[in-house]
Amino acid sequence: MVAVLLALPTNWVVPSVRAAEGPLAPVNLRCEYLKNPVGIDVRQPRFAWVLRHTERAQMQSAYQLLVASRPELLAQNKGDQWDNGKTLSDDSTQVVYKGKPLESGHSYWWKVRYWDKDGNASEYSHPASFEVGLLSAEEWKGQWIGGANQLRQEFNLAEAPRRARAYICGLGYYELRINGAKIGTNVLDPAWTTFDKRVLYVTYDVTANLHPGANAVGVMLGEGWFKSRALMLQMDIELASGKHVSVTSGPSWKAKNGPIVSDSVWDGEVYDARLETPGWDLPGFKDDGWMPAASVKAPGGVLSAQMMPPIQEVDSMVPMALTNPRAGVYVYDLGQNISGWVDLHVTGPRGTQVQLRFSELLYDTGMVNRENLQSGYRDFVAAKARDIYILRGDGEEDYRPRFTYHGFRYVEVTGYPGTPSIDSLRGHVVHTAVKTTGSFAASKPLLNQIHKIVRWSDLTNLHSIPTDCPQRNERMGWMGDAHVSAEGVMLNFDMAAFYTNFVRDIHDVQDADGTVTDTVPLRYGSRPADPAWGTAYPLLCWYLYEQNGDRRILEENYAGLKKYVEFLRSRAPDNVLRFSYYGDWVSLETTPPAEVSDFYYYYDTLLLSKMAEVLGNTADAASYAQRAGQIKDAFNKEFFDEKTGNYTTGTETANLLPLFLDMVPEKSRETVVSNLTYNILYQHNTHVTTGFIGLRYLMPVLTRFGYPDLAYDLAVETTFPSWGYMLANGATTVWELWQNKVGPSMNSQNHHMLGSVDTWFYEGLGGINVDPNQPGYRHVRIEPQVVRDLTSVSATVGTVRGDVTSSWTHEPGVTTLQVDVPVNSTATVSIPKDVEIAEITVHEGDRTIWEKGRFVEGTPGVTAGKFAHNQVIFEVGSGHYSFRVDGK
């Protein structure tokens, strides 16, 4: 190449060669974890970008970030808001805005370029944008109004709008309509919060929906979790001349109940199409019969921007079967348990009432079995889980509900005029529309099926908060469920904004005494939370930190977390925390709940000391580390029997919890491990007996202590209790219980928490692990578990720094491993040695990197190699690697 270039005339430009080599423009620009967010209320938002480079082992040595108030300025490389110049730093995530103060209702454009480790600069990225919502309470000019479930207002614009934004908080749920059209694709908005602490508003760009002259805005309100209706709306419009006008909710609005006769999250919607008021959301509508909107009490909470992906209809489904088990009763089968609703297509006489009832199960007769819509709590009435549609009778009608959702696979239709066909109904999958970022596939089909039902359960339980289940009279933010699944969910989907919001929800329920609640927002359960539920507060903060390098979540919550840990301490005078309500919930064998609570007391204290260390609070780091040591000693004194090597009842959970956190005295560790494996292998013939708490740590513990094959055997088991057993019995989502129950109470077919095994699919089998000392995948540990009859596994995690992939194949004597490490990250790659082979050789691409027991230097990106614990271990920089291990 050099020779060729020398032969060229000096004025010869070779742009294609230059453009294709070296540092490439950053991509995937994010602001507060979101792509081009509209309406954020963070004064110092954080930026992140993903780097690309054509060479291996590349890093960012510096970056330049420009933020401009107009796109034209940015195009001229002018950052009038912020230009940090060439800043020496390898930070490509969590970069905090430090420019001029951001203003409410303004848009900003930004881009970034970087210098690689050799000082070569990339091109600037494509521009990205972010918009600021209303930063302070005084900027809200509207009033809270209600009085009916339809509210409307007309207004005139003297000129065409240049820029218009609508800020809306419509509780419990809203649908915003302007000039006859629904605005945006959000449904079941806004997110559920502790309404007297905080309510969320959503910002829409409505410039294209407005025009000069008469305009109309209409808002439909549902009750949702707020159980009442209240609207706050502000439309800020900049006209072509630069003049500003605002349209705000207030007493001049008109109100009238529309076709939604009743709506409830649990019970469904009753919609009487005869009550529709066509044209109500258009200008010129005769609203004579409408009353002035009532001013209503403010919900009480501060108005904050909703900064996470909205709930949306993410997919639709054609039913796979339609049956007619009884005269007049039609049952549709979607073939998949989902959360969402159906739309109904119907023609018939005015006033005909069609009822849709939803279920997860069928009786043998083909009728829907709805016995499990009642939770275990007797004081809760079972969810009605039905929608009723009353026809207008003027031809073809389509109905789908707005302010409810159901968890179901089957839909029973009664009252249908005539005979419905398979096309009379479509299913719509509705949940928080997070982006899929991870993937997992293995040569064993059963693992892929488990992964699939876990994904379904995870997704269908994202409804602005992580819910426990989507069907019965719960759907609440049970904190225990939330934390056991969180890591797996983070590995599969882009979750940072969602959990950041949920952590704030937890912070909002915290009392001055440090207590949090079992469900967040608190709808049921206790304050203080069961410690195995309350631990979601520290754990979610920590997972966000590990996965994204998010220091701010630790900063913002440190005081709250400290209060929480101090509360636990106040209940543990002798350093043992015993109180508990649920313990190792849904387990098959009982572990004393006090052991579970105390385990989390230790865990939370330990995490607090680590967080203090991250934040540079060395005094707290030391004192909480010391206290954690005392708790550990007390735990062992209270729960450990040195003679038998068992903790408490010696169940799987009892022994694995202390192993997970290295609480077991070193001299007894092997005995405890062997008690655990003996219990699994011989006392339970290789079956799980844990509840969902113990389960979260079971596979990691077996793997870490040398039994990944046993973890695998548990994962692929097909008899009771196992995931294979669920699948063999028709599960399309993960069950709440290990048992196959179809009767009344507590046997949801869709609870995500037993799906925590998916975390191990990524971290164990795929081997992709975050390094907590270099969080946000700054350094990655790739340690795939090559087990039993598995011949291949392929896993990708879409990290904040780019995709990390680990993809391996295995046949006796030969292991191959493909690895992707993002630019600006490094990895330690450990490949297990086959027992058959005495002396291994390792190739990377066509180079030899390990031979005769020695690392061979000289391969780009591979900086070191060693052999330890029956693995050959390489240190690598960024890039794609293709390893092959064989030998004699």
Please report whether residue 735 would count as binding ligand BGC according to CB under 6 A: no
User: Is residue 375 near ligand BGC by the rule CB under 6 A?
Assistant: yes
Judged by CB under 6 A, does residue 582 bind ligand BGC? yes
| Residues facing 155 on adjacent strands | 215
- What minimum distance in Å lies between the beta carbon of 477 and ligand BGC? 10
Q: Which among 567, 576, 583 has a CA at the least distance from the CA of 533?
A: 583
User: Is residue 624 close enough to count as binding ligand BGC by CB under 6 A?
Assistant: no
Smallest distance from ligand BGC to CB 479, Å: 8
Min dist. Cβ of residue 377 to ligand BGC (A): 7
Q: The tokens of 546 are what?
A: 């590990």
Determine the Cα–Cα distance for residues 235 and 216; give it in Å rounded to an integer: 12
Bridge partner list, 304: 200
Q: Does 531 bind ligand BGC (CB under 6 A)?
A: no
CB of 499 to ligand BGC, least distance (A): 18
Q: Which parts of 260-319 interact with ligand BGC (CB under 6 A)?
A: none
Q: How far is the CB of 738 from ligand BGC (least distance, A)?
A: 14
Nearer to ligand BGC, 547 or 587 (CB): 587
> Which contacts (CB < 8 Å, 24+ apart) does range 75-78 have?
75/127, 77/124
Q: How far is the CB of 468 from ligand BGC (least distance, A)?
A: 4
Is the separation of the CB atoms in 572 and 531 below 8 Å?
A: no
Give me the least distance between CB of 372 and ligand BGC, in Å please: 11
Tell me: does residue 478 bind ligand BGC (CB under 6 A). yes
Contact stretch for ligand BGC (CB under 6 A) within 468-476, 665-673, 706-714, 831-839: 468-476
783 part of the interface to ligand BGC, by CB under 6 A: no
Residue nearer to ligand BGC on the CB measure, 220 or 532: 532
What are the structure tokens assigned to 372, written together?
Answer: 């499990």
- How far is it, in rounded angstroms, from Cα 380 to Cα 26? 52
Rounded Cα distance between 749 and 408, Å, is: 9
Q: Which of 345, 344, 352, 343 is nearest to 393 (CA)?
A: 352
Residue 481 in contact with ligand BGC, rule: CB under 6 A: yes
Using CA atoms, how far residue 571 sits from 204, 558, 576, in Å, is 47, 20, 8
**CB burial class (10 A; 0-12, 13-18, 19+) of residue 393?**
middle
d(CA 786, CA 791): 8
Nearest CA-CA partner of 803 in 822, 775, 784, 817: 822
- In our burial notation (b when 16+ CB lie closer than 10 A, e otherwise), range 357-387 reads bbbbbbeeeebbbbbbbbbeeeeeebbbbbb
Contact (Cβ atoms closer than 8 angstroms) between residue 587 and residue 691 = yes
Shortest approach of ligand BGC to residue 467 CB, angstroms?
9
Per-residue contact flags (x/-) with ligand BGC for residues 164 to 183, judged by CB under 6 A: --------------------
Q: Which stretch binds ligand BGC (CB under 6 A): 106-114, 395-403, 466-474, 603-611?
A: 466-474
Query: In the bound complex, what is the minimum distance in angstroms from residue 740's beta carbon to ligand BGC?
Result: 18
Q: Does 480 participate in binding ligand BGC (rule CB under 6 A)? A: yes
Count of residues that bind ligand BGC according to CB under 6 A: 11
List the Cα angle 288/289/295 in 5-degree steps.
Answer: 100
SS3 category, 674: helix
251, 292, 351, 376: residue in contact with ligand BGC (rule CB under 6 A): 376
Report the residue number, 99 or 525, with the smaller CB distance to ligand BGC.
525
- What x-and-dash track marks residues 745-774 binding ligand BGC by CB under 6 A? ------x-----------------------
Give the one residue of 226, 330, 543, 585 binding ligand BGC; rule: CB under 6 A: 585
CB of 582 to ligand BGC, least distance (A): 4
DSSP 512-533: TTS---SBSS-SSS-SSPPHHH
Minimum distance from CB of 469 to ligand BGC (Å)?
6
Tell me the closest approach of the beta carbon of residue 678 to ligand BGC, in angstroms: 30
Q: Which residue has the tokens 């209790």?
A: 721
**CB closer to ligand BGC out of 175 and 458:** 458
C-beta closer to ligand BGC: residue 457 or 605: 457
DSSP character at residue 788:
T
Q: By C-beta, is 424 or 485 nearer to ligand BGC?
A: 485
Interior CA angle at 471 toward 465 and 311, to 5°? Answer: 40
Is the backbone of residue 336 left (phi > 0), alpha (psi -120 to 50) or beta? beta
Q: Give CA separation, 218 vs 146, 174, 189, 228, in Å.
A: 12, 10, 16, 18
474 binds ligand BGC (CB under 6 A): yes
Does 483 bind ligand BGC (CB under 6 A)? Our answer is no
Residue 294 near residue 257 (C-beta atoms within 8 A): no
- Return the range that interacts with ligand BGC (CB under 6 A); candidates 100-108, 172-180, 320-328, 467-475: 467-475
| CB closer to ligand BGC out of 347 and 590 | 590
Q: Which residue stretch of 475-483, 495-503, 609-617, 801-809 sits at the interface with ligand BGC (rule: CB under 6 A)?
A: 475-483
Least Å distance between CB 333 and ligand BGC?
Answer: 25
- Residue with smaller CB distance to ligand BGC, 474 or 508: 474
Select from 320-328, 474-482, 631-639, 846-854 the region that touches ligand BGC (CB under 6 A): 474-482
Choose, by CB under 6 A, the member of 260, 311, 373, 469 that binds ligand BGC. Answer: 469
Measured in degrees and rounded to the nearest 5, phi and psi for residue 71 equal -65, -30
Element (H, E) at 596: helix 593-614
**Which residues touch 402 (CB under 8 Å, ≥6 apart)?**
173, 175, 187, 220, 222, 260, 263, 269
* CB within 8 Å of 419: residues ≥ 6 apart: none
Q: Which is nearer to ligand BGC, 339 or 646 (CB)?
A: 339
How big is the CA angle at 666 (ends 664 and 669), to the nearest 5 degrees? 60
Residues in touch with ligand BGC (CB under 6 A): 375-376, 468-469, 474, 478, 480-481, 582, 585, 751
